[in-house]
Structures are given as structure tokens and as C-alpha cells.
Structure 1
């Protein structure tokens, strides 16, 4: 592995409300290492997805990156040089991420064309990525439209598109939210396998502490755009410090009729 660590440093994202500038992400710093999973967790609206979007310069209209740099192994990179080349992305709602009138073959070609990949032999490269993502019949799936595929198949296809880029880092934004429990398990198993086999460094954005416990080694907790706690997964579950962390763990345990013991 030539590239080992992606760092987000002092990231600040702003918007404007009633004539006043408001910070949505405030001086946030994270470090993602290859071969490991860093979970970024927090309640809805805390700035998790904005952090990923700002790092790759794909913020929604009405927001902007006020400050912050992204580097790989200490070398500052522009977001455009990272996007799709050094950092691939998978999103939380696979059905809305695909153009409904285009086949999977078209999506694969567009993905490789967008990053300037060598297009001769692109179908073989795409097929290999699809197989790695658990889609065992790539030639048949090439001809399918999104409405002909299940949510789990679409999520695997989104992962395959990310693998086609051969990017060393992956931003996974709520990758299992809209999937049933069995498919969630399979997708998490797939991400774990890809992390081990390909040495992917994964930034896992989620509010699900069960997903954190299953996949991540390190956790950063975000609240109102600020990192309020960061620790190894085991330490965070055993000794949460910040009230937001405790609330997230309590909410998770309550699903099983349990309570966190202080």
C-alpha cells in the first residue's frame, strides 16, 4: 500500500440563515487509515454527511466550505483530484442514486469515463468489480435497469462502481439504512471482506451503533458539527464520556430491552 492515511483537517462548512452565517461543520478533523474503518456517528443533522460532501467538494446548494484541507500522507490534495480517484463513495439510498432509464452497463461505463480510466477492456474491469461485490452474473446484470433490481443488488452495484475506480479510500454514507436485516448483514460482511482483501480505508457514516460495533475499529462522535468524543470502539461502548455518545448507546441498547450501566 503506497498511500496509508487520509486526513481531514480543520474542516468548516457554513450556510446563511436570516442574513447570518451559521456553521454546520465546525473545525472538524479526522484521520482514516488504510485497512481500517473509522465510524463517524451522530444524530440526524449533526453534520456527518456534510463532512463527506465538503471533503469532496460536492456540497448541496446554499452551503460552502469555509476552511479545511484534505491530505493523503501529509500531501494536501484538491477535492477534485480525490473524488472518484483516491476516494470512492457509496450512498444510503441506492435506488435514488441510479438513473432509472439507464442500464447498469451504462452506469459502469460512465463511472470509468468520469475518472479518465483506460476504456479499452472496461467491461472486463467492471465485471471483475461486480463479482468482487457479490454480483455473480455481471453479463446478465449489465442489461438490467434499476427497477429490475432489488435494493440489495443495487447496493452491491454501487459498491462495484466504487471498486471500479480502484480508489484506496471509501466513504460509506449510511450504507445499510434502507435495507432489510439480512441484506444489511451481507453488505457489512462484504465491506469487512473488502477492507481486509483490498486494504480499503473506510469512513463509515452512520447513526446505527450496531453497525459501528460490527465493522469499525475507531469511532468519532459528532454533534452540532463538532467532534465531541473519539475513541476505540470497545472503549466507547464501555466508557462513553459525552452525553451525545451515551444517548446513542442508550438508544441502541433499548432496542434489545437493555440499559447502559454507568
Structure 2
């Protein structure tokens, strides 16, 4: 892992047909190795669309009007970055796996697609699974998705991302649909990986508790635009934008009602 900085510059995404407002408008984000940048906002604010637009994996009916992806200041085509400089983990891991393939087949297809020589596969798989907190690799690799819990599948998705040896990770709602204990374990895993591997993590979430636990900086989105950015302490204690204040107030009302306004 040699890249130290990832930038998304002037990203604008639109829906095809019609002159409606852009889905994402003029987004600028920077991410350094070993850092967690939380991209937060209400559902539909454009968080996931920003990640998809940056990596050029937008859903049908949308297109990237403008935007540049830079690695260490050098513009790069998204197709050369996906899975090589930027790995991705998604929410709802059960829907992300092919139900008829074992975990070994998923891992081998990943490594084959990335061009790793076959003699290295076993070592890469074992290392990634250990770093993702998956013991008994031989047993787990023989399992199909339906034979695994949501927490195990999320860890396996993290392991697949690590197999790419990418220096940056886009984590889109990585704890959604997991119980609180497993959520905590996944967040601990991500925190350890950013420290041990120097991963730069773009953490997409609407959960300010996840932000407080893991993030160094926060970027707040509303209606497809970044409305505020800042360090974690300032964003929680001195939020400037009404959207940020609402997110923090909602979090405090649920988890710290005695200090909520």
C-alpha cells in the first residue's frame, strides 16, 4: 500500500431525462491513509450516490456529469482504482454474496479478477480472514452465505476487501441490520485495520453513534451537497449547520436524553 491520499473533486451526478436538480452537486472530499472520514446525512441525501459516482458504478438511469478521482494528486480513471486502490464493503451483506457459491469461491474469484498469481492465493486469503477476525478459515471457506450469520458475512466482506490490498476503503453503512454486539465488533475491527494497515476509510452512515465511535472528520450532506465539514469534536459540540445540529440532537435524544436540548 503506497498511496497516501485520495481526493474526489467536483463530483456531480444527474438522473437521465429531464432538467431536474442534480442528485449530487459539486462534491469535494479528501481522505488520507489511516484516517476515517464519515460522510453523514439523512437517507436520500446523496451519500451512497457520492461513492458510486466517484467509482463510476452508478445505477441505471444516472450519470456522472463532472468529477475527478485523484490518488496522491494524480487523476485516475475509476476503473483503474476500483478494487485496486479503493475497496468497498456494503450494507446488508447477505444480498451481496452469490448464494450458490462458497466463501472459497468468492475469495478465489476476487483474487482472479485482481490478477494475483494463484500460488499466492492461500496466503492472501488466510491473512485477510485473520485480519477480519475470522477464525477457522477452512471451515468458513466451505460455507455458503445462507449458512452464515450476518456478522460473519460482514467480516467475510471485509476480508474480501482486504484481499485487494487496497489502501482505501469505502464502507457504506457497514453495521446496518446487525445487532448491537456485532455492530461494536465490526467497528472495533475497522478501527484496528485503519491502525494496523493504515487504511483510509470513507465511512458512509446516518448513525452519529458510529461517527462518534470511529471517525476523525465528518462531512455532512443534504440534498446532494456538502453543507458542513469539520473535526469530530467540533461537529458534536459546536455544529454550525442546521442539518448537523439536527443529526446531533437526534442522536443525543436517543442515547443521552439528559444532555439533549
TM-score, normalised to structure 2, is: 0.97
Other-structure match for 1:5: 5
**How far apart are residue 190 of structure 1 and its match?**
0.3
Deviations 1:33-53 (A, max 9, x none): 000100000000000001111
Other-structure match for 1:180: 179
Deviations 1:21-72 (A, max 9, x none): 4300000000000001000000000000011111111100000100010001
Contact 2:208 2:247 survives alignment (8 Å):
yes
Contact 1:127 1:139 survives alignment (8 Å):
no
Between the two proteins, the alignment pairs up a number of residues equal to 260
Other-structure match for 2:138: 139
Contact 1:16 1:22 survives alignment (8 Å):
no
2:30 matches 1:35: no
Deviations 1:221-262 (A, max 9, x none): 00001000000000000001111111111111111324545x
Other-structure match for 2:127: 128
Deviations 1:149-176 (A, max 9, x none): 0000000000000000000000000000
Where does structure 1 lack aligned partners over 5 or more consecutive residues? Answer: none
Deviations 1:59-87 (A, max 9, x none): 00000100010001110010000000000
Contact 2:2 2:167 survives alignment (8 Å):
no
- Partners in 2 of 1:15 and 1:88 — Cα distance? 25
Structure 1 runs (4+) greater than 3 angstroms displaced:
258-261
**How far apart are residue 114 of structure 1 and its match?**
1.3
Cα RMSD after superposing both structures: 1.1
Contact 1:33 1:201 survives alignment (8 Å):
yes
**How far apart are residue 128 of structure 1 and its match?**
1.4
**Please, which moves more after superposition, 89-98 or 251-260?**
251-260
Q: Map 1:53-68 onto structure 2 (within 5 A).
A: 53-68=52-67
Other-structure match for 2:229: 230
Contact 1:92 1:173 survives alignment (8 Å):
yes
Other-structure match for 2:155: 156
Residue 213 of structure 1 aligns to a residue whose secondary structure is helix
- Partners in 2 of 1:78 and 1:37 — Cα distance? 23
Contact 2:16 2:63 survives alignment (8 Å):
no
**How far apart are residue 124 of structure 1 and its match?**
2.4
**Please, which moves more after superposition, 162-171 or 117-126?**
117-126
- Partners in 1 of 2:53 and 2:102 — Cα distance? 29
Residue 21 of structure 2 aligns to a residue whose secondary structure is strand
Deviations 1:198-222 (A, max 9, x none): 0000000000000000000000000
TM-score, normalised to structure 1, is: 0.97
Contact 2:134 2:156 survives alignment (8 Å):
yes
CA 1:104–1:224: 2 relative to 1, 3 Å: same
2:219 matches 1:220: yes
Residue 22 of structure 1 aligns to a residue whose secondary structure is coil
Contact 1:14 1:64 survives alignment (8 Å):
yes
